[in-house]
Structure 1
Amino acid sequence: MKTTVFTRLFVVFVSLAALLFLNGCESPEEKAASYVSNGNKLLDEGKLGKARLEFRNALQLNKQLVPAWYGLARIAEEKREWKKAYALYNKVASLDNNHLQAQLMLGKLNVAGNLIEKALKNSETALKLAPDDPEAHALSASVKYQQGDIEGAIKEATTALKSDPGNITALVQMANTRIADKDPAGALKYIDIAIQHHPDTIDLYQLKIATHLKEKQFDQAIASYHELIARFPDRDDFKKALADVYAETGALDKAEETLRARIASKPDNVTAIIDLAIFLRKHRGNDQAEAELRKHIGENTDPELSFALAELLIVNKKTAAAKAVYRQLIERHGGSPDGLKARNKLAMLELAGGNPEEAGKLVDEVLSIDPNNYRGLLTKARLQLRDDQQDLAIASLRTALKNNPNAVDALLLLARTHLAAGRWALAKTYYVRAIQAKPEDARTALEYARLLLQKNKLDEVEQVLQPVLERHPANPNLLTAMLLADIGQKRWESASTRLGRLHALIGDSPEYNRLAGIVFQGRQQYADSIDAFKKAYEAVPSDQKALVGLLQAYVLAGQKDKAEQLLKSRIADNPGEILPYILLGRLYQLDDRMAEAEKAFEKAIDTAPDRKEGYRNLADALRSQGRIADAIEMLEKAVREYPDSVPIRELLAEMYSRDENADRAIELYRGLLKDEPDNDIVANNLASLLSDTRGDRESLEQAEAIARRFRDSKVAFFLDTLGWIEHKLGKSGDAVTLLRSAIQARPDVAVFHYHLGMAYQAEKQPRRARHELEQALQLAKSPFPGMDEAKRLLEVPAATLDAANDARQ
């Protein structure tokens, strides 16, 4: 029967009247308290949804009401929504730092997340609030155990158990201490006591099983699984875990029997069918796994089985068959989510197979049906990047993030795209967002930290990695990155501490010994450095870093004779290797044995006449003695012998430039660019020479024509070259844009700031000019062209800098 307008109005009127009546009877504080009371009652009855509404109603009246926030936190905990529970308990603690239960729960969650420093603060607060509370002592036991204080953990757990013999946290920590003392029987005793007190706590059974498995007590583990399955028959995952134990012990028939029984008890359990197929592939062969999936696909229309079959076929390198499965899914499911998923999967397969056009058609189909489809947009971006359409790819990725702002793969792809384009600031923004979106993912943080190491932003490495390392203290890659940041900043005490932790993780490995050699060298413990580098070098003789490190250690220890002996031995064993000759020549240079150094470099040239390393080192050795003419003569001879060698011709052009013979250098660079028109380094050097050594308009225009290719470059130095040329041509607006892009990619290069400062000066922006010139002088580690000009301009007051520019012009 349809509700009339009159009926609806009457209901509204009655509701309003009741509301007015109630408002006249209860104050907002009383109503909020009533909502909380009802919520707690419903929560105790397990009616979580209704309880949540009551707590939310209370917060509508008072957003600072601690009991309501605490109720919501308990609901999230009950639902095992740990991220939400953590945020809500933090909210409770922020409103009332003396809330004991919030401190206790936050402490447990921080221990679980390996955030020990935070857990320690929670524990200390809880003990201050309730010195006799067994839960507070149990939390303290957990923290002390994580800190490696076994005796302290035992003491705190024992204190908790005196007043609460069934305290689950304390009993588990006592079990942990027994495991740490290699007493599994003692650990199992405490776990059994805990199970007696808490027979429905699944985690205790799993801890018991894990203890048995660690001790290779497979029969006991299997018996415990059967006990667990009997007590919780609806938990399907325990049957899978039991099958895994059977498989690990070689009882494959038992494992298969268990997996098939799992399917028989619930034939529509797609996960169970896929688990069986995975088992068959691993232990019975690909054909049996494929047959099993195809059989169930005939009986079960769930598309996940077909997706699993396609993945299996891809692994088995049956790509055509996998494509056929995806096309069947597309035909069967059309524009539904499963149909779009199949198109996306097929598109990725086509792209991987070198068929971007087909992949593009599939993605376009997806996006025509669902323009905001995340996977479709991600694949579209990859296709656009493949075609060097960076701006379009960025637009696709931004659209993908609108509905998925914390999607790590899109954030990372955006970060990498901006990085490739030389936009470091934007790349940094997206790396940080990716880390924040998934702080437990060590790989994302490590990728970003390695970039920071490359860019020498060492102080930022620890900021990025420390929170991640707290979650993954046993990750050697994270620890290594932190150690490298310490080494780069010469923080030898911190480096020594991290080195010890790394040794505990990876032992006496070649990588550890190479890093140890560096740290010992930094601490001037040269004997230890030599010993460490020796171990690394002897373990991996091809490790050039270990070889160079060992040589440096010998030199610093005053044992140059041993360094020389090592290199001669290396040459005897590897006469065709160029590096030992180069290193030997440099070693001779240290002792001013120049004739021997020259012979070593000549041997390097004889060993690899088509490589420039030998020529460069010999030329530098001659220049260091003031024999520039000899260096040039040597290179000219090499060019006559190897006229097609681009590296040697480049080196000669560079030597002409250093000798202030710009005309010869320009001539040589012109010839090189004619032979290799796509050689950007040659183009950059030629354009720079033309603009820096010839001030006439014609030469500047020639330089601009050569450097125009760099307008969309990702290389900071190329952008700077074109920007400086544009400035000299009076196009300072274009120059500012180019030079700002160069600085965004490499903010640490002093001369870039000088160039931008001069461009701002020409643009009549004196304050910005002053800022950039000051930056140039602060960053400069050695004189750069224009340094005197920068100093002169900075002596002029900011208000008159513009006038000074006019006078200069």
Structure 2
Amino acid sequence: MSKKTIPLGLSIAAFVLMSAGCKEKKTAEDYLHSGQAFYEQELLGKARVQYRNALALDATNGDAHFGLATLAKDKQDLAARQYHLQKTVEYSPENTTAIFELGEISLLMGDLAVAQKSAKSLAQLQPETLQYYKLALAVAIAEDKWQQAQTLGEDALKAFPENAELWGLIGVVAKKQEQWPQALKALDKAIALDEQNPQYRVLRIEVNEARGDVDASILDLKALIDSSDYSDAQIIKLIKLVNDQRGRPAAIDELNNYLHKYPQADALQVLLVDLVKQDDPERAGKLLDEFIRKANNPTGLLFYRVNAAFSHNNVVLAQQDLNTLVALPNQTPKALAQAKSMQAELAWLQGDWDNAQTLVISVLALDANHVNALLLRAKLLVREGRSGDAVVYLNKVLAQNAQSVEALSLLAEHYQRQGNTSLAKDFYHRIGLVDPDNYAALRFHIYEAFSKEHLTNADALVTRALKRYPEDAALLGIKLQIAALRANYKTATAILEQLKALDLSAADALFFEGFIQQQQGDYARAMTSFGKAVSARGQYDKALKAMFACANKAKALEVFKTFLLTHTEKNAHDLTAHLLIAQLTFEANPVAAIKRLSSVTQAQPSWYEGVVALSKFKRYHGDAAEALVLLKGSYTQSKNSSVGIAYARMLEQQAQAAEAGVVYDQLLQVDSNNDIVRNNYALLLVGELFSQASLRKALQLTEGFASSDNPALLDTQGVVLMTAGKFTEANYAFNKALGFADITEIKLHYADSLYRSGDHAGGREVLEGLENKGVSEGIAKKIALLRERWAQK
């Protein structure tokens, strides 16, 4: 390549001119002209800079705004275009093109008021122009003003009889009024004037579909397909119409014609396989194999065959095709992530947990937001007992698919296990909105109402659920218990016979017999039935606890204890039985109780309920130091929340508040929604660890308690708010808590809050109400201290 030299005189002259230009300060108009020049040269980035420079010097320059609106139109940025058009019209109210475009885009974005204003402006500035008629007609259609639209259309066509857009709008007016001949005539004229615009053919298809003329729709679709770029959606729609109207053979022939034209269109190939499969599955399979062999890129077809293999439980074929997909050269990251995700799902179904874990991690390395991989990662964590860690992944799933029932269910179950009933309830409610007949959600609401003894509500819910699941043993069992609690023993017995006919287990049948007997007051027979249920199953916590309750009523704890000792000799794995023996033994023989629990927890270190109970027994027996060591060791190894909470509470009792705070922080890192942790930590922060920073943290921790129906949580929120001097909110929290349960301690807090808020009479009245009912010696001392503190203030 030869270098071109610039004549010396010319280059010096250019330098002089440029130097002189540099000394002149550019105006907004200079930048505007530069921007327009760059736009004409299609240097859009440079044009944008010049228009912005113009606005920097003159923010009211309408032409600069219009230039930016034009650039936004090229980028299809509707919001930016609308903004700059609004500014153009504001600063250049005579710019009719901007007014027209603003009205047009406002209609597109649903802002009818702005479109109406734009049409009125054009009517004043430029009546009877094409822009005016087009916008006014479109506004009239949006307003459903058909007579006005018809009149405008007639006037517009007199002035502009060869404008395709106007004919198209007239077609829309006729279509909206179901004037099919007029609509078809107008759209035919629009198509004749502008054959390249597919929208008129699309409208014509809609008209023919609305009037039930399938043959005409087929012809229109063929014309649309032939006149526009390839669209598998249009061809698939055509084939479905042909199939419905003329039968499967005709549809297959029509589809084969398009496959000859587009031999690598995998969407059409899949449709052909689906059509052939309905009459000849074997031929369809061979056809799919052939398509895959001949495909330049078989990715889509392989995924189709994988899904078919999954639906037919053909694990071997699914695995082979997934391996092929992963090994394909130049595979896209999206397809690779999807293939590996399906491999992970297959490993999960086969119980190959380690392989599933490895594959899921590799998928998330390719695509950190892959929904299926995030969900499977969460399921794997739940399986490992790490549901707290799974929460992060499940929330990511819901951020992309808020209606994922599986993710919602896993979160609901997690919070239910954590004892966070309010959050569990929220998630089950969301499941019910997506899937009203979801079994898990129905069961949760039924059990919640039943556990709160809201029998009317529980009965209504279980009756509704049984319509959907009429032979569900768990639901029938609740129905039986409600009947027994209402003394409808005949109904309860009839349901029990119904359950037995459904192959109810012997242990469950004995439990329900015992439950009916318990409600009838026959505690001795109920104990026998519950005992047989426990023996039949080997471990049956619900029956064992019911038997304990009956033993208390029948004053037969020694009999119950003898049963437990015999039972644990045969069923050493029944941890609840061991715990009950220890509780019954502790008062008379604490050493024996501690020895039993120590032995069992050493053999079962993951029995965290036993670890917590053993620590309490040790502390009650005067060995607090050893109890603390036990809890610390178990928590350090397991990070279990129940053990962690017990450990933190014991640290508080041992005047190690700061160390307790560290444990609570660790627990919140694992599960920030654990209400027990938040409750205990908040009280510690406004107590032993009080500071202004701690108070702010306590307020944050208890913020969500306002929506709870747990009086303890509401009480804690009230205490924190009272400490912060927010007495109105505190009084509300205490009052709400007392609406759920008449608890003396909450009344003391409420009285204190009322008094400190300035309502001295209200505070005294609450205390007097307590004293009039009679209080224990301990509560009397607290009331005296409270009055003493008030007197000092």
State the TM-score, normalized to the length of structure 1.
0.60
Q: How far apart are the structure 1 equivalents of 2:43 and 2:619?
A: 76
| Mapping of residues 59-74 of structure 1, within 5 Å | 59=52, 61-62=54-55, 66-74=65-73
Q: How far apart are the structure 1 equivalents of 2:579 and 2:637?
A: 23
1:480 to 420, 432, 439: 432
Q: How far apart are the structure 2 equivalents of 1:724 and 1:345?
A: 49
Q: Which residue pairs with 1:285 in the alignment?
A: 281
**What is the deviation of 1:649?**
0.5
CA contact (8 A) 2:514 2:527 kept: yes
CA contact (8 A) 1:103 1:125 kept: yes
Confirm or deny that 1:382 pairs with 2:360. Answer: yes
Confirm or deny that 1:58 pairs with 2:51. Answer: yes
Q: How far apart are the structure 1 equivalents of 2:173 and 2:516?
A: 59
**What is the deviation of 1:272?**
4.3
SS at match of 1:443: coil
**CA distance 1:606–1:188, shift in 2 (3 Å):** farther
**What is the deviation of 1:703?**
3.7
Q: Which residue pairs with 1:681 in the alignment?
A: 609
Q: Which residue pairs with 2:162 in the alignment?
A: none
Aligned AA (1:192) = L
Q: How far apart are the structure 2 equivalents of 1:349 and 1:482?
A: 28
Q: How far apart are the structure 1 equivalents of 2:262 and 2:292?
A: 13
Q: Which residue pairs with 1:443 in the alignment?
A: 403
Q: How far apart are the structure 2 equivalents of 1:227 and 1:580?
A: 70
Deviations 1:589-639 (A, max 9, x none): 8xxx6615775675455456432323323433565x6x6x53564254244
Aligned AA (2:258) = R
2:343 to 322, 342, 349: 349
**CA distance 1:706–1:252, shift in 2 (3 Å):** same
**CA distance 1:7–1:346, shift in 2 (3 Å):** farther
**CA distance 1:595–1:32, shift in 2 (3 Å):** same
**What is the deviation of 1:739?**
1.4
Q: Which residue pairs with 1:223 in the alignment?
A: 219
| Mapping of residues 661-680 of structure 1, within 5 Å | 665-680=593-608
Q: How far apart are the structure 2 equivalents of 1:26 and 1:209?
A: 56
| Mapping of residues 710-721 of structure 1, within 5 Å | 710-711=638-639, 713=640, 716-721=641-646
Q: Which residue pairs with 1:32 in the alignment?
A: 32
**What is the deviation of 1:264?**
1.9
1:163 to 122, 143, 152: 152
**What is the deviation of 1:709?**
2.7
SS at match of 1:227: helix
**CA distance 1:457–1:276, shift in 2 (3 Å):** same
**CA distance 1:195–1:594, shift in 2 (3 Å):** same
Q: How far apart are the structure 2 equivalents of 1:528 and 1:96?
A: 62
**CA distance 1:236–1:691, shift in 2 (3 Å):** same
Aligned AA (2:223) = E
State the TM-score, normalized to the length of structure 2.
0.61
SS at match of 1:541: coil
Confirm or deny that 1:615 pairs with 2:544. Answer: yes
Q: How far apart are the structure 2 equivalents of 1:130 and 1:434?
A: 46
Q: How far apart are the structure 2 equivalents of 1:360 and 1:526?
A: 46
How many residues matched?
Answer: 657
Q: How far apart are the structure 2 equivalents of 1:783 and 1:692?
A: 29
SS at match of 2:403: helix
Q: Which residue pairs with 2:187 in the alignment?
A: 195
Aligned AA (2:228) = F
CA contact (8 A) 1:727 1:735 kept: yes
Aligned AA (1:58) = Y
| Mapping of residues 67-146 of structure 1, within 5 Å | 67-77=66-76, 84-85=77-78, 87-88=79-80, 92=84, 105=105, 108-109=108-109, 119=110, 122-124=111-113, 126-127=115-116
Deviations 1:296-347 (A, max 9, x none): 735x5445478458747855766666766777788883xx446996698479
CA contact (8 A) 2:466 2:475 kept: yes
Deviations 1:23-69 (A, max 9, x none): 95962255337736985xx7xxxx9x766764565246548764345
Q: How far apart are the structure 2 equivalents of 1:331 and 1:7?
A: 62
**What is the deviation of 1:588?**
9.1
Deviations 1:159-194 (A, max 9, x none): 445434759689758857x7xxxxxxx375676366
CA contact (8 A) 1:723 1:739 kept: yes
**What is the deviation of 1:262?**
1.7
Pick 1 or 2: higher relative contact order, CA cutoff 8 A, min separation 6: 1
CA contact (8 A) 2:510 2:529 kept: yes
2:566 to 640, 643, 650: 640
Give the alignment's Cα RMSD to 1 decimal: 6.3
Confirm or deny that 1:738 pairs with 2:663. Answer: yes
Q: Which residue pairs with 1:473 in the alignment?
A: none
CA contact (8 A) 1:735 1:759 kept: no
1:256 to 252, 259, 270: 252
Deviations 1:525-551 (A, max 9, x none): 999997886454345334578668878
**CA distance 1:727–1:221, shift in 2 (3 Å):** same
**CA distance 1:258–1:533, shift in 2 (3 Å):** same
CA contact (8 A) 2:375 2:407 kept: no
Deviations 1:401-433 (A, max 9, x none): 6xx7x6656776788899975658x956x7666
Q: Which residue pairs with 2:777 in the alignment?
A: none
Gaps of 5+ in 1: 78-83, 110-118, 143-152, 179-185, 362-377, 385-395, 466-476, 484-501, 798-809
CA contact (8 A) 1:329 1:338 kept: no
Aligned AA (1:652) = L
After superposing the two structures, state which structure 1 stretch, 223-232 or 511-520, moved more: 511-520
**CA distance 1:312–1:583, shift in 2 (3 Å):** closer
Deviations 1:706-758 (A, max 9, x none): 444323x4xx3233234445666787666433312334525453565435754
Q: How far apart are the structure 2 equivalents of 1:679 and 1:12?
A: 92
**CA distance 1:546–1:348, shift in 2 (3 Å):** closer
**What is the deviation of 1:787?**
10
**Percent identity at matched positions?**
10
Q: How far apart are the structure 2 equivalents of 1:460 and 1:89?
A: 45
Aligned AA (1:443) = Q
**What is the deviation of 1:646?**
0.6
**CA distance 1:516–1:664, shift in 2 (3 Å):** closer
Q: How far apart are the structure 2 equivalents of 1:358 and 1:2?
A: 68
**CA distance 1:755–1:295, shift in 2 (3 Å):** closer
Q: Which residue pairs with 1:294 in the alignment?
A: 290
CA contact (8 A) 2:375 2:397 kept: yes
Q: Which residue pairs with 2:625 in the alignment?
A: 697
Confirm or deny that 1:242 pairs with 2:220. Answer: no
**What is the deviation of 1:657?**
9.4
CA contact (8 A) 1:36 1:67 kept: no
Q: How far apart are the structure 1 equivalents of 2:380 and 2:271?
A: 38
Aligned AA (1:264) = H
**CA distance 1:599–1:769, shift in 2 (3 Å):** farther
Q: How far apart are the structure 1 equivalents of 2:181 and 2:528?
A: 75
1:572 to 483, 488, 497: 497
**CA distance 1:164–1:519, shift in 2 (3 Å):** farther
SS at match of 2:556: helix
**CA distance 1:566–1:360, shift in 2 (3 Å):** closer
CA contact (8 A) 1:123 1:140 kept: no
**What is the deviation of 1:584?**
9.0
Q: Greater Rg, structure 1 or structure 2?
A: 2
Q: How far apart are the structure 1 equivalents of 2:608 and 2:584?
A: 19
Deviations 1:184-229 (A, max 9, x none): xx37567636634653654564466567668876444423322323
Q: How far apart are the structure 2 equivalents of 1:34 and 1:214?
A: 52
